[in-house]
Amino acid sequence: MNKIDDRLPFGNPITIVVIYVMISIVLIIFSDVVLSTIAKDVPTLTMLQSFKGMIYIIINAIIIYILVNRGFRSISESNEYIKENERKHNIILDTVGDIIVYVDKYGKIIDVNKRVEIKLGYKKDELLGKSFIDVGILDVKYMPVMAKMFRQGIDNKMGGKAELELKHKDGSTIVVEANNKFIFQNGEVVGAVTAFRDITERKKALVQIENNIEHFAHLIDHIRNPLAILSTFTQVKITDKDIKNKLLVQIERIDEIIKQLDEGWMDTEDTRKFLKDYK
């Protein structure tokens, strides 16, 4: 907007008034001087004064039209500039894969991106002026979590994170990671922008990893126990030394493989812990 105003110097109302007053004073003084030199009698002067008044009105109308037209053009171009910025802003928001929600200091929704409709099934008009709790997207059980996140954001003036469940319009739920940033004006919170990232599939993957690790541990135990019995049986019941040695060598090889699997299981367990901490 500032660039537009610089290109249109008559966009300021004070400038318009000053120009109008100066031109009007010049016209009045100049016209009176001209008429006093032309008119030789009172009737002629009266007639010329009437014509002067009409000409003055016409000139004023033209001047007002020019100045006002410049003002309207400035407003029109400013509106176009604002609309273009809003369009670019909306394109950026709608391109983001996260749900973006802009709320005022009372938690009422001011704006959302299109990802809300894709992920939660609600149109923008259904959410404006309401909160997620009003609509039923966020369960009241998460109020303490949200309050803690907002409190952290107010204290450090940065924001906070929390893991929540959001309810779709059809009743299904998704797990999201909420990342909140506050908007400050004159040292006070006037609103907040929250990005909700869908981590449902990541949570499912972590559960599957845990199940696989647990199953893997059971399999190792199920192999090790019979192997120990087989080793004892071979040492006690097999009398042929050659056969016994061959069996014990193979049992030791199997035991070594199990140890390697056990070490791999421990590495997988560390990976699982890392993923849980990272989420």
Instruction: Please give the Cα distance from 171 to 156 (Å, whole number).
Output: 36
Stretch 151-165: mean pLDDT, rounded? 70
**Partners of 183 in beta bridges:** 191
Return the beta strands (E) in the chain as ranges: 99-104, 109-112, 159-167, 173-185, 188-198
Rounded Cα gap, residues 136 and 122, in angstroms: 11
- Report the C-alpha gap between 50 and 57 in whole angstroms: 11
**Could you read off the pLDDT of 71-115 as tens digits, one per residue?**
788 788 778 877 777 777 766 666 678 899 998 888 899 989 888
Q: How far is CA 172 from the centre of its chain?
A: 23
Closest among 197, 193, 190, 150 to 174, alpha carbons compared: 197
CB atoms within 10 A of CB 197: 15
Residue spans per domain, the chain: 2-94, 97-198, 202-278
Mean pLDDT of 23-43: 75
Q: What is the pLDDT of residues 35-55, one digit of tens each?
A: 777 767 777 777 777 777 787
| Rounded CA Rg of the chain | 41
User: Is the pLDDT score of 120 beyond 80?
Assistant: yes
pLDDT at 263 over 50: yes
Question: What is the enclosing helix (H) or strand (E) of 13?
Answer: helix 13-38
Q: What class, spelled out in words, does domain 97-198 have in CATH? A: alpha beta
Q: Is residue 236 classed exposed, middle or buried when 0-12, 13-18 and 19+ CB atoms within 10 A define those classes?
A: exposed
C-beta of residue 163 within 8 angstroms of C-beta of residue 147: no
CA dist., res. 127 & res. 177, Å (int):
20
Tokens 């006690």 map to which residue? 236
- Could you give the CA distance from residue 137 to residue 146 in angstroms, rounded to a whole number? 13
Q: Quote the CA–CA distance of 96 and 215 in Å, as a whole number.
A: 38
Q: What local confidence, expressed as pLDDT, does residue 166 receive?
A: 92
